[in-house]
Amino acid sequence: MRDTNKTWVTEFFLLGLSDDFQTQLLLFIFFLIVYLVTALGNLLLISLVLIDSQLHTSMYFFLCNLSLADLCFSTCIVPQALAHMLSRKKIISFIGCAVQLLFSLFLGCTECALLAVMSYDRYVAICDPMHYPLIMTWRLCGHLALACWVSGLLVTVIDSSFTLQLPYQGDNRMAHFFCEPPALLALASANTHISEMAIFIMGVVILLAPVSLILASYGSIIVTVVRMKTTSGRIKAFSTCGSHLLVVIIFYGSAIINYMAPKSSKEQGKLVSVFYTVINPMLNPLIYSLRNKDVKRALENVANRRKLFRS
């Protein structure tokens, strides 16, 4: 009888990362700068890959997919968070929350799969360079990219179904800065054990399986690099692998903490989510591509074309 007297939630009040105005202002500046760098970096990479024919390789094809996922992932979360940081009414409708949850899950899960496929691409390129063109054909690359997006969609359908089908009555104060399953489940007016188990199983599929493949790929790459005769080649390869693994640790580590680790505090959960929703989409284009000589050459070519056009 007590539950039947509760009203159904039609909107949620997002508590955000802080309730102190000065802290919110500093967070607004930080989030804005990070988002602008994210948008510019990913848009620049996508544009260069489309314009420069020499970047039409499997590696940059997957990077282009990753940049698209990062750009959309960040865009479906950060602009709303920025608006709420300057607003007293940090409210989102139930439908708006569901839409944000669906898109953020879809894009985040797709990125998980893309990072694993990219590690396999690098493994083949470094450990079996003679057969690389025969293995990583455009047909295979297209199928792998499609599989990444489809797997993201499938995991999203399952996670969102088990999250949104629960009753939400009474408390509508969400201790988060955007809508995601762990924060939403905390407000459910029913037992969430089955939903949590479903999300955990999907975490094994989309988090633990890809990160295992990545670690195995980079383990083989490191063994191959150690056997290189030239010191400069080893240093360059280790530098590249180290930066890539840093991104992997930040992204998968923070996601695993929120989705698969035992229940942590609400404050810890929303702070951890900043790493894979805000910081990682900015790091990916910087670490994976904009440091590469091929991308720098493409930038120079575009700049030279503009100079010739103006003259």
pLDDT confidence of residue 291:
65
Write down all domains in the chain, each with its CATH number in brackets.
11-310 (1.20.1070.10)
pLDDT confidence of residue 290:
65
Distance (Å, whole) CA 112 – CA 201: 15
Q: What is the mean pLDDT of each run of 10 residues along the chain (311 residues)?
A: 63 90 93 96 92 88 94 96 90 95 96 94 89 93 97 96 92 92 91 92 93 91 79 68 81 91 73 93 83 77 70 58
Query: Are 42 and 67 in contact, with CB atoms under 8 Å apart?
Result: yes
- Give the other-Cβ count within 10 Å of 243's Cβ: 15
Distance (Å, whole) CA 44 – CA 159: 33
Distance (Å, whole) CA 61 – CA 54: 11
Write the burial class of residue 69 (CB in 10 Å: 0-12 exposed, 13-18 middle, 19+ buried). Answer: buried
- Give the other-Cβ count within 10 Å of 196's Cβ: 17
Give the residue from 288, 13, 301 showing the smallest Cα distance to 173: 13
Angle of CA points 98, 204, 175, to nearest 5°:
40
pLDDT confidence of residue 1:
38
Distance (Å, whole) CA 26 – CA 152: 33
Which residue has tokens 């105005």? 21
